[in-house]
Amino acid sequence: MIRFENVTKKYTSDTVAVDHINLNIKDGEFFVFIGPSGCGKTTTLKMINRLIPLTTGTIYINEKRISDYDIHELRYDIGYVLQQIALFPHMTISENIAIVPELKKWDKKKIYDRITELLEMVGLDPELYRNRKPEELSGGEQQRVGVVRALAADPSIILMDEPFSALDPISRQKLQQDISELQKKIKKTIVFVTHDMKEALALGDRICLMQDGKIVQCDTPDNILKNPETDFVRNFIESGNVAHKPLLTETLTVQDMLDKKLFVPHHSDKTMAVLSATDSIETLITALSNHSSILVLGENDEELGVVNSEHLLVFLSDQLKEGALA
Ligand code: ADP
Ligand code: MG
């Protein structure tokens, strides 16, 4: 679907923002770029819709070079959601959502119905919100409009650059749920940038970890946890994210996983790594980047069960559905 072939971006002769990356994002995939600030995530994203020109290499969408697309055709078929809520302040919510459909010359009725459908999809009553200005909405509501605006003209690709990082935890978790459910329904190709490892693990079909403009590891959440390829990946998993925010707003523990029956009744061997049921989920994430399974002990060192990365991923995605992640 989206293929990068030896793509490099130099802003000046000595700033290599993106350094010879090769990757293939599949149709319908939820693909996550993650990495520390300045590693090249935004640059990579913006090259896909030609907001930033490449220096060398080629990007293909459906095996056609992006440079061979008509720029309007390309932009209309790629939705884009930014970190900063970027609604036009002087336009109503309807007018904001209608921008691309109008450019595509949809008729009025079709646009009206589409706006109704989209607002309902993210839980905003169309009759209440349609004619409001952005300033009459909370930050979370505005960003929800930002997300549906990107979907408005039914693009086949949606680019999202840290779309939730400016939001309060409640709005953030609601939108993570929304986008996860939307993706299941509409099966778009979503390219998503974050620096929150927990968000990446819960949302991504694949996660691509970048460092200094290069891809360090690109794999399923499960494999990233099980086989971090370098110390950088391991450290990144351990630090959880690089935004210096707590990884989980609620302190979830290994016990919470056991309560959900996410373990196998023990068949431990002496060499197995050990955690206590009261240890945090962050501690477990770290431990699972070094060990394939972990024996969990209770208060009196009794063996409660064995957990592995599949259990962890099921737990994280359940938490996402229940809205406990932020
Ligand atoms: P990220 O999104 O991962 O934080 P960016 O893609 O924004 O990273 O930036 C990658 C590198 O390119 C950084 O070193 C950044 O300072 C540099 N950079 C980004 N935009 C420009 C620009 N317009 N001019 C010069 N350097 C830039
Ligand atoms: Mg960025």
Which residue's CA is the closest to the ligand 1 atom numbered 26? Answer: 11
- Please tell me the distance between residue 260's alpha carbon and the centre of ligand 2 in angstroms: 36
Which residue's CA is the closest to the ligand 1 atom numbered 15? Answer: 38
Distance, in Å, from the CA atom of 127 to the CA atom of 119, rounded to the nearest integer, reads 9
| Coil vs helix vs strand at 136 | helix
Q: Is the CB of 96 under 6 A from ligand 1?
A: no
pLDDT of residue 44 exceeding 70: yes
- Please tell me the distance between residue 38's alpha carbon and the centre of ligand 2 in angstroms: 7
- Please tell me the distance between residue 132's alpha carbon and the centre of ligand 1 in angstroms: 35
Which residue's CA is the closest to the ligand 1 atom numbered 17? Answer: 17
84 pLDDT tier (thresholds 50, 70, 90): low
- Please tell me the distance between residue 42's alpha carbon and the centre of ligand 2 in angstroms: 4
Angle between helices 231-239 and 281-290 (to 10 degrees): 170
Residue range 209-268, pLDDT digits in tens:
999 999 999 999 988 888 888 888 887 777 655 333 444 445 789 999 999 999 988 766
Q: Is the CB of 15 under 6 A from ligand 1?
A: yes
297 pLDDT tier (thresholds 50, 70, 90): very high
* Nearest residue to 262 via CA among 180, 324, 192, 317: 317
Tokens at 113, concatenated: 């119905």
Q: Please tell me the pTM assigned to this model.
A: 0.78
Q: Is the CB of 88 under 6 A from ligand 1?
A: no
Q: Is the CB of 208 under 6 A from ligand 1?
A: no
Burial 32-50 (b: 16+ CB within 10 A, else e): bbbbbeebbbbbbbbbbbb
pLDDT of residue 326 exceeding 50: no
For residue 201, the model assigns a pLDDT of 87
- Please tell me the distance between residue 161's alpha carbon and the centre of ligand 1 in angstroms: 13
Best residue among 10, 11, 216 to mutate for probing ligand 1's pocket (most ligand atoms within 8 Å of CB) is 11
Amino acid occupying residue 25:
I
Contact 158, 151 (CB under 8 A): yes
Q: Is the CB of 17 under 6 A from ligand 1?
A: yes
| Sheet architecture: strand order including 273-276 | 273-276, 293-297, 303-308
Q: Is the CB of 40 under 6 A from ligand 1?
A: yes
Q: Which of 162-171, 198-207, 287-296 has the lowest mean pLDDT?
A: 162-171
Annotation: CATH topology of 254-322: CBS-domain (3.10.580)
Distance, in Å, from the CA atom of 233 to the CA atom of 292, rounded to the nearest integer, reads 16
- Which atom from ligand 1 is nearest to the alpha carbon of 42? 2
Q: What percent of the chain has pLDDT over 90?
A: 49
For residue 47, the model assigns a pLDDT of 96
pLDDT of residue 206 exceeding 50: yes
Residue range 174-194, pLDDT digits in tens:
788 878 887 888 788 999 999
**Which of 3.30.365.10, 3.90.180.10, 1.10.3720.10, 3.40.50.300 is the CATH number of 2-239?**
3.40.50.300
- Please tell me the distance between residue 161's alpha carbon and the centre of ligand 2 in angstroms: 7
Give first-to-last CA distance, the chain, whole Å: 30
Q: Which of 105-119, 229-243, 285-299 has the lowest mean pLDDT?
A: 229-243
Q: What is the mean pLDDT of the chain?
A: 87
Domain spans, the chain:
2-239, 254-322
pLDDT of residue 289 exceeding 90: no
Q: CA angle, corner 205, sides to 152 and 182, nearest 5? A: 30
Tell me whether residue 82 is exposed, middle or buried, using C-beta atoms within 10 angstroms of its C-beta: 0 to 12, 13 to 18, 19 or more.
middle
Average pLDDT on 4-16 reads 94
- Which atom from ligand 1 is nearest to the alpha carbon of 46? 6
